[in-house]
Amino acid sequence: MTYSRRHFTRLALAGLPLSSALARAIDSKINGVQLGVQSYSFRDLPLDDAIKAMVADGLGDCELFSPHIEAGGVKALEAAFQPSATPAQRKAAFKAYEEKVHEWRLSVPLDYFKEVRKKFDDAGINLYAYNLSFSEHFTDEEINRGFLMAKALGVDIITASTTLPVAKRVAPFADQHKMIVAMHGHSDVKDPNQFATPQSFATAVAMSKYFRVNLDIGHFTAAGFDAVDYIQRNHDVIVLLHLKDRKKNQGPNVPWGEGDTPIKQVLLLLKENRYPIPAFVEYEYKGSGSSQEEVAKCYEYCKNVLA
């Protein structure tokens, strides 16, 4: 794992001996490609258990899914995570969740996020980004508070599943805080406000010099686009990839290697061109094992490709 000056500073401020901290650090960079995991992959586990699973799987970089540390935790979104849930049921579950955590976001002490960061540091995991999905329900105060939370976590990047209208509201806050916000895409090409097409990402990047792209190659493939071509043309604005395997034509998530997503080609593209873009496992198919076991399978797939 490569350490920035900022990472050394964090360790020093935390009072951690640099030698012992580095000895514990988990290295999941394979032949120049930084691999990691979206903690959403462990949505069935509370934060402490999710961290243990990351350690067991040997993944040293993490994008933190905000419900893992918000009021009620991932348990509060259990209904949305059910495989049988319809899009309408998922939307209703997330709306109810937003209403529940609104006051918490405005009142929680920022030191809480420093404590969360310490858990990752102590486990030898680099916290790369905070996944806070700004929705239309966020007030301006809540948006601003999100940037303060990210700073307290010690990250330089917020990733967000959001919409173009909300992104316009977020842009001045990104400019004010001088913090990167990377838009995460899905596959809904029928809604012009969703991030799904190359043009939607281009529109966002034009809104702020701090806006970037968090490309999900599975959703991008399901939406009918070529992830390899997009990365080649836009690698300078992509700060993070999500790896999953979906079938074309809005097809489902499937175990890796069974779908149409060019996971192998994308990983080799990163390796051969030395693009400094981390690639994170996002386990979303219905597996036969535990989330820890399924993420381990996905990581092993990546290692075999990059060997």
Q: In total, how many domains does the chain have?
A: 1
CATH code of 157's domain = 3.20.20.150
Does residue 13 belong to any structural domain of this protein? Answer: no
- Domain for residue 8, yes or no? no
Q: 221: exposed, middle or buried (C-beta count within 10 Å: 0-12, 13-18, 19+)? A: buried
Residue 9 counted as domain residue? no
Q: Would 45 be classed as within a structural domain?
A: yes
Residue 252 lies in a domain: yes
Cα 285-291-294 angle, rounded to 5 deg: 65
Residue linked to tokens 């069974």: 258
Instruction: Tell me, yes or no, whether 101 lies in a domain.
Output: yes
Give the pLDDT confidence of 228-287 residue by residue, as tens digits. Answer: 999 999 999 999 999 999 999 999 999 999 999 999 999 999 999 999 999 999 999 999
Domain residue limits at 240: 22-306
More confident residue, 44 or 23: 44
In a domain, 29, yes or no: yes
* Residue from 202, 198, 224 nearest 211 by CA: 202
> What H or E segment, with its residue span, contains residue 131?
strand 126-131
- Whether 87 is covered by a domain: the verdict is yes
How does the average pLDDT of the chain come out, rounded? 92
* Residue-wise pLDDT tens digits, 91-143: 788 788 888 899 999 999 999 999 999 999 999 999 999 999 999 999 999 99
Give the residue among 149, 117, 130 at the shortest CA–CA distance from 66.
130
pLDDT over threshold 80, residue 38:
yes
